[in-house]
Structure 1
Amino acid sequence: MAPNPASVFNADARQDAQPITSDKLVSVIHVSLEYRTAQRIVRATHDMSFDVYGSDRFVLLGPSGCGKSTLLKAIAGFIEPVAGEITLDGARVRGPGADRIVVFQEFDQLPPWKTVLQNVAFPLRVAKKLSRAQARERALHYLDKVGLASFADAYPHTLSGGMKQRVAIARALAMQPRVLLMDEPFAALDALTRRRMQEELLKLWADERFTLLFVTHSIEEALIVGNRVLLLSPHPGRVRAELNSHPYTRDGASRVDFQRGVERIHHLLFDTDEPSA
């Protein structure tokens, strides 16, 4: 379910742009999530509702501790809501599945004893989707997509952080999931590499038109990567607003309208009174 229309902020940088949507794919319906610490049970998100459509680049944006990563894990099926439900293609999410693949922030996602090619092909073989030859062919295809076909026989310890993330993205896309989930995948990279990775991700999306659910706490990154951005309040996370960010691009980041959009989002995130629990 989408937020109340009154809470939606429509970016006004270009009135002629249209959001990229098709059929409803993921629905988060009045979802509350909790996790346990040594001292207490903590509510991570409260009564959240939104929809993700096919080919969306949907971004969850909010300050640290607002529950965006916890929500991503719940959509992946690793955490069960204490209230509400999450559906994929209308069916309730009840656990992890190959239709939802996660790319995490950490660079050590790749088994170090496997080559780059083996890392990408291995999940295909485990899922029994393809023969060995077919898995190799598809793995090479996606390594070529991320510009790493020439590193197919390299081992992860020989790669830079950005290259490891590109392998992780290739591995995820090779599974051809219904939704690609990315949890702050570029946060640990230096500024130049992060910019290049954002550009490469958008190029991949233009080629493949996969559905992307992306978590970040960077307003600029959210505007560049996403075509729709959901703003979450500080802890516990609630839906604060939703915006159409398709008018904004990396090339326009220095423009006045882009900076104005950043300022307006910052105000929505941090300068609005919290709703009562």
Structure 2
Amino acid sequence: MNAQPSRLGAHAPLTRRGLAAATQAPGDAQARFAHPADATLRDEAAPDGRLLAIDGVSLEYRNRERIVRATHEVSFDVYGGDRFVLLGPSGCGKSTLLKAIAGFIEPVAGTITLDGQTVRGPGPDRVVVFQEFDQLPPWKTVVENIAFPLRVARKLSRSEAKARALHYLDKVGLAAFADAYPHTLSGGMKQRVAIARALAMQPRVLLMDEPFAALDALTRRKMQEELLRLWDDERFTLLFVTHSIEEALVVGNRILLLSPHPGRVRAELNSHAWSHASTDDDAFRASAARIHHLLFETGTDVEARA
């Protein structure tokens, strides 16, 4: 589990690799989705360069009949500036895994470490954006929704919290709606507020659990584009959960494939610098087809663990 991050240029191949595979040579240094080599990010991470380390994590939950294993011995690393996607069908435990990383669930086996420290509960260094539209307290205005956690968790003054909230509202294009209440906003606008609130907290890792799944196709596409624009500006570290192969290819620079029942690592992939403009390309379709095959092929062990 000591692999160094791959630096992905615009022409990097979509390759299946183990978690301990050798570092890929850099591609086009100007590519939008090249892995950032920000020294500050690396200095703040663990000594071996990892920001987030998931090592042999197994998760379980209880239903009415029995204890269900959601994930089994899942391992992967996330580095500063990654857009790391957990991709898999329903029942693969990807959302459960995200909740464990957020500190809401304790693993039955394995460890989760952030900046070299074991995750033992929720904290402001990890902020989650969910897919539900009701994650904003309806009695607070948009700017109050963003400013309140800044005052509580980050201990900012009222004026400092409001200034930062307005800054990130402007980032997501909602400065004009600062004094509006959530019930007056569309679903896409509510998700923009949730993203602004998360980024304003300046977490070490932004966790997103299928944040655009409940949106219509056109709004979902626009939100994906806006998320990538924000990443271009802020270079935050993103851990993104989805069941959409196309969304994974567009959003992620690294993709972990999980098989269902329980979730196990099938493969870890490096992604091209895909955009929505390239989704009709033959190469994009071939990549999507290959991921589908890796997710659902049977009769062979394709797990890619170190």
Normalised to the residue count of structure 2, the TM-score between the two structures is 0.85
Name the aligned partner's letter for residue 38 of structure 1. R
Distance between the aligned counterparts of 1:6 and 1:164, measured in 2?
Answer: 38
Contact 1:228–1:246 (8 Å) recurs in 2:
no
Name the aligned partner's letter for residue 244 of structure 2. S
Give RMSD over aligned pairs.
Answer: 2.3
Distance between the aligned counterparts of 1:224 and 1:126, measured in 2?
Answer: 35
Distance 1:238 1:274, change over 3 A: farther
Residue matched to 2:243: 217
> How far off is 1:2 after superposition?
7.4
Residue matched to 1:79: 105
Name the aligned partner's letter for residue 94 of structure 2. K
Distance between the aligned counterparts of 1:272 and 1:20, measured in 2?
Answer: 36
Distance 1:227 1:29, change over 3 A: same
Contact 2:59–2:108 (8 Å) recurs in 1:
yes
Name the aligned partner's letter for residue 83 of structure 1. A
Matches within 5 A, 1:223-238: 223-238=249-264
Distance between the aligned counterparts of 2:256 and 2:289, measured in 1?
Answer: 16
Distance 1:182 1:83, change over 3 A: same
Percent identity of equivalent pairs? 75
Residue matched to 1:68: 94
Distance between the aligned counterparts of 1:220 and 1:125, measured in 2?
Answer: 38
Distance between the aligned counterparts of 1:186 and 1:8, measured in 2?
Answer: 32
Which secondary structure does the structure 2 equivalent of 1:24 belong to? coil
> How far off is 1:249 after superposition?
1.9
Distance between the aligned counterparts of 1:254 and 1:8, measured in 2?
Answer: 33
Equivalences, count: 274
Distance between the aligned counterparts of 2:152 and 2:18, measured in 1?
Answer: 47
> How far off is 1:7 after superposition?
7.8
Distance between the aligned counterparts of 2:288 and 2:36, measured in 1?
Answer: 21
Distance between the aligned counterparts of 1:33 and 1:275, measured in 2?
Answer: 21
- Gaps of at least 5 residues in structure 1 are none
Which secondary structure does the structure 1 equivalent of 2:51 belong to? strand
Distance between the aligned counterparts of 1:257 and 1:2, measured in 2?
Answer: 31
- Gaps of at least 5 residues in structure 2 are 4-15, 43-48
Matches within 5 A, 1:105-120: 105-120=131-146
Contact 2:89–2:243 (8 Å) recurs in 1:
yes
Normalised to the residue count of structure 1, the TM-score between the two structures is 0.93
Which secondary structure does the structure 2 equivalent of 1:105 belong to? coil
Query: Structure 1 residue 137 and structure 2 residue 137: aligned?
Result: no
Residue matched to 1:241: 267
